[in-house]
Structure 1
C-alpha cells in the first residue's frame, strides 16, 4: 500500500481499521473535523460543476445526473442501488438556502479498485440538476502546465473543512520527480502529480478527495484531467499531490455512465 504510514487519502473521514494517519474508507468511519491549502474563495458560480458529497468528499458533474468522484470516497458503500449519499450543488456556500440537493440512486466504483490506482467512481443521482457539466480529458495532451484545484476540504493539515468553496493553482510535476518523492509508489499510467514540489504551500487536503484537477483546453473551456486522490500530508515541501489520471479511464467512465 502507498506508504501506509504516511500517504493520506484526501477524504475528511478516517477508517477505523487503519492507522489514524491514513484515511481510506470514509463510509461508516468517524468524521474528522478537518479545502484547499494556500487557496482563496471561489467566486459564486465560477465552478458550477463542482459538488459536495455528504461523506466529506467532492465531485464533478460528468453528466447532469452523474457525479464523477474518487473510488476511495465510496469505499464501504454498497455498490449498485444505494440512496445513502447526499449531493450538494449549485453554490459555493454550503449553508446557502439556494443549495441544490440530490440523493444518490446508484453507486459505481471503478472495477478492480483495491486502494492502489483506479481511483474513480460514478454516482448516479435520483434526478438531474440544471447545472453545467465538466468534460473530461480523453488523451494526455492536457496533462501538463498549470492546473486549478477547488474544494471544501481543509485549508491546513489537520484543519477544519470549509463552508465556502476554495480554489488554487498548482503546476504539473513530472512522473520521474513524483516517483522520487514517493519512493516509486506512483502508478504512472493511472496517476499524475501536481504541486509546488520544492516549496509546498499549495495543495488539495483532507476533504478534497474526489474533486477535480482541471485546466483550460485549446478552446478556452474547462477540462478535467485529474481526480484528487492521495498525498503525503497537505502542501508539504517535497510531496506533490497525486491525482487519478482521468484520460486513462475516459473510455471506461463513458461506458459506465451509459449503463447507469
Structure 2
C-alpha cells in the first residue's frame, strides 16, 4: 500500500495472504469459513493448488493461522492479456476458526451501488512504492471511489475501464494499492457499522501516480458468479 500506515491488530480480520511455496503473492478476503475471494491474475504463473497456502493475521510471519488450499476457481472468461473478469474464489482445505482477529466480511447485494466520492479502505501486504518489496506488516489506507466519467478520460485510463471495473484513489495520486496488494479487499461500512467488500485490488499504472488511480474488480458485478461457485 503506497502511503499507507501499519494496521492495528484485528482491524481488518477478513484480510488474508495468499502464498505460493510460503512466499506472499497476493491478498485475499475471507467471505465464509471455507471460501475467500481474490484476483484471477494471482494464479497466472502458478497453477497447482497444493503449493498454495493462505495465512491470516496482521503479520505474514508469524501468521495467526494457516490453511492449505483445496482448490481455486478462476472466472471462466478471464484472459490474462486483458484485465477483465479478474476474480477468483479460493476454497481452503479445512475450516477457518473465527476469532476477534479472523472473521469473514459481508458481500453486498448484486443490486447495491456505491457512489463516487465515497470513502473506502484498502489493505494489503504489498509494496510501499513501485518496484518495492512486499511487507510483513499489514498496511491500510483510505481512498475515494472515482467516477467512471473521470476514470475513462483519455489521460487517465480511457477505454481500458470495462464493465465490472471501477477506480478508487485520488487523481493527485499518493494513496494507492501496489504490487502484492492484488486480490485484496476494498471495503466500506454502512450506517449500522457492517463492513462490506465492494472491490478487489486488480490493476493500475505504477503506484500512487497522478492521474493513475487504482483499478478494482467490482464485487456487485460478480455477485451472482460468486454465489454460483461458493453458495454464498
User: When the two structures are superposed, what TM-score results if normalisation uses the length of structure 2?
Assistant: 0.90
Question: What is the count of residue pairs matched by the alignment?
Answer: 218
In structure 1, the partner of 2:44 is: 75
Give the structure 1 partner of residue 210 of structure 2. 237
Q: State the secondary structure of the residue aligned to 2:203.
A: strand
- 2:51 match: secondary structure: coil
Match of 2:161 among 186, 206, 223: 186
Q: After superposition, where does 1:1-260 map in structure 2 within 5 Å?
A: 36-55=1-20, 56-78=25-47, 82-89=49-56, 91-96=57-62, 99-115=64-80, 116-131=83-98, 132-138=103-109, 139-144=111-116, 145-180=118-153, 181-187=156-162, 189-197=163-171, 199-258=172-231
RMSD: 1.5
Going from structure 1 to structure 2, the CA distance change for 1:227 and 1:78 (only over 3 Å counts) comes to same
Query: In the alignment, is the contact (CA less than 8 A) between 1:143 and 1:225 conserved in 2?
Result: no
Structure 2: unaligned runs, 5 residues or longer: none
CA distance in 2, matches of 1:250, 1:176: 23
Structure 1: which 4+ aligned runs deviate by more than 3 Å? 76-79
Note if contact 1:142-1:217 (Cα within 8 Å) is conserved in structure 2.
Answer: no
CA distance in structure 2 between the aligned counterparts of 1:45 and 1:68, rounded to whole angstroms = 19
Note the alpha carbon deviations across 1:157-190, whole angstroms, 9 max, x for none.
1111111000000011110111111121100x21
Distance 2:197 2:61 in 1: 26
Structure 1 residue 130 displacement after superposition: 1.4
Q: Distance in 1 between matches of 2:179 and 2:4?
A: 14
Deviation (angstroms), 1:77: 4.0
Question: Distance between the aligned counterparts of 1:258 and 1:84, measured in 2?
Answer: 25
The one-character-per-residue Cα deviations of 1:41-66 (angstroms, maximum 9, x if unpaired) are 10101111100011410001011111
TM (norm. structure 1) is 0.80
Separation in 2 of the partners of 1:137 and 1:219? Answer: 14
Q: SS state of the match for residue 228, structure 1?
A: strand
Greater Cα shift, 134-143 or 245-254: 134-143
**Structure 1, unpaired ranges of 5+:** 1-35
Measure, in 1, the Cα distance between the counterparts of 2:42 and 2:17: 12
Contact persistence 1:212–1:224 (CA under 8 A): yes
